[in-house]
Chains A and B, each alone.
Chain A
Amino acid sequence: MGKASRFLIFTLTLCAVAIFTTTIVGALFYSPDTDIPVPQDKQLETSPLQHPARLIIPRLDIDTNVQEVGINAEGNMSVPSNFTDVGWYKYGVVPGGPGSAVMAGHVDNGLGLSGVFKNLGELEAGDEIIVERQDGKRLTFVVTGKRSYAYDAVPTDIVFNPSGSTRLNLITCEGAWVKSAKTYDQRLVVFTKLAS
């Protein structure tokens, strides 16, 4: 085999290593969404100290970091950049404010291992959800119900309701993978209301 062939095999090997590394990092550790920019004057005028820092769900043994997420190029709420944090929709309601704040978390990672909200469906009415804000203040929410929707039939006006009672809604995926749409066919929404 000539020098050119050996160089080709060397290049092919390097490419394979690069593809393997990129895929495994994206599948297991880091998979950022593509946020679109939003004008500064259209963003919420709230103190960053009121923003959520951690989400704690004692029943599911979850105590995790909260990322602030926006809107992606498809017009959907973005997702956290890893599989262990949750994302708070920063252009919506602040937890503790009037209306429904929304947080989302992955159900699994790119190889099917558990994401932060893998067991979200185990929550029952009455379970506590605690949000720790940047200023250290803790807000306790109580689960009032949960419901599954087809991924293209979620009542977003209810889930992201900007007015009304103080709520926190948690979202994750469930169901079967739809290859053509590149998403799971259902969304699980856990509805909670502020207790204290």
Chain B
Amino acid sequence: MLKKIVNGAAAATLLAAGFASAQTTTATTTPGVPNTGAGDIVLNAMILGVSAMIAVGGALYLYMHRRVLTE
């Protein structure tokens, strides 16, 4: 979170500098290129797999022991 705040402050400073030097044009500032990849596919797949296994395993256990729980 701290890193995000620091990055945000740095970007805001750069942005202000960009505005100051670009007042005569229609564009206000030049950003960096966008990150148009959606993320780490392998990591996402692993998180989904592991969380699904835990969820299904836990649900099955609770279902099989439901009688014990209600007694």
A interface, CB within 8 angstroms of B: 1, 6, 9-10, 12-13, 16-17, 19-20, 23-24, 26-27, 31, 34, 36, 38, 42-44, 69, 71-79, 83, 87, 89, 91-94, 97-99, 104-112, 115, 117, 151, 154, 156-157, 159-160, 162-163, 171-173, 177, 179, 182-184, 187
Tell me, in angstroms, the Cα distance from A23 to B30 when the chains sit together.
Answer: 32
Lowest 3 CB-CB distances: which A-B pairs, in order? Answer: A13-B58, A162-B27, A76-B32
Contact across chains for A20 and B34 when beta carbons are under 8 A apart: no
B45 part of interface (Cβ distance < 8 Å) = yes
Task: List A contacts of B26 (CB < 8 A).
Answer: 44, 93-94, 97-99, 162-163
Can you identify 11 A-B contacts, CB atoms within 8 angstroms? Answer: A12-B58, A17-B51, A23-B47, A75-B10, A76-B34, A79-B35, A94-B26, A110-B40, A154-B33, A177-B41, A182-B39
Contact across chains for B38 and A110 when beta carbons are under 8 A apart: yes
Contact across chains for A177 and B37 when beta carbons are under 8 A apart: yes
Contact across chains for B58 and A171 when beta carbons are under 8 A apart: no
Task: List B contacts of A78 (CB < 8 A).
Answer: 34
Tell me whether A173 and B41 are in contact in the complex, defined as CB-CB below 8 angstroms, given that A10-B58, A12-B58 are known contacts. Answer: no
Tell me, in angstroms, the Cα distance from A87 to B34 when the chains sit together.
Answer: 10
Secondary structure dominating the interface of B: helix
Of the residues A9, A20, A91, A182, contact of B27 by C-beta under 8 Å = A91
Closest to A183 in B: B35
Contact with A along B4-46 (1 / 0, CB 8 A): 1001101110110001001001111111111111111100110
Q: How many residues of B sit at the interface, in one of the four size bands?
A: 35 or more
Tell me whether A71 and B11 are in contact in the complex, defined as CB-CB below 8 angstroms, given that A10-B62, A77-B31 are known contacts. Answer: yes
Task: List B contacts of A160 (CB < 8 A).
Answer: 27, 30-31
Contact across chains for B34 and A104 when beta carbons are under 8 A apart: yes
Can you name 5 extra interface pairs (CB under 8 A) apart from A10-B62, A16-B52, A104-B33? A16-B51, A71-B15, A75-B7, A76-B32, A92-B27
Tell me, in angstroms, the Cα distance from A111 to B11 when the chains sit together.
Answer: 30
What is the CB-to-nearest-CB distance from A47 to chain B, in angstroms, rounded to a whole number?
13
What is the CB-to-nearest-CB distance from B18 to chain A, in angstroms, rounded to a whole number?
9
Closest to A105 in B: B36
Contact across chains for A20 and B31 when beta carbons are under 8 A apart: no
Task: List B contacts of A34 (CB < 8 A).
Answer: 4
What is the CB-to-nearest-CB distance from A99 to chain B, in angstroms, rounded to a whole number?
6
Tell me, in angstroms, the Cα distance from A173 to B41 when the chains sit together.
Answer: 14
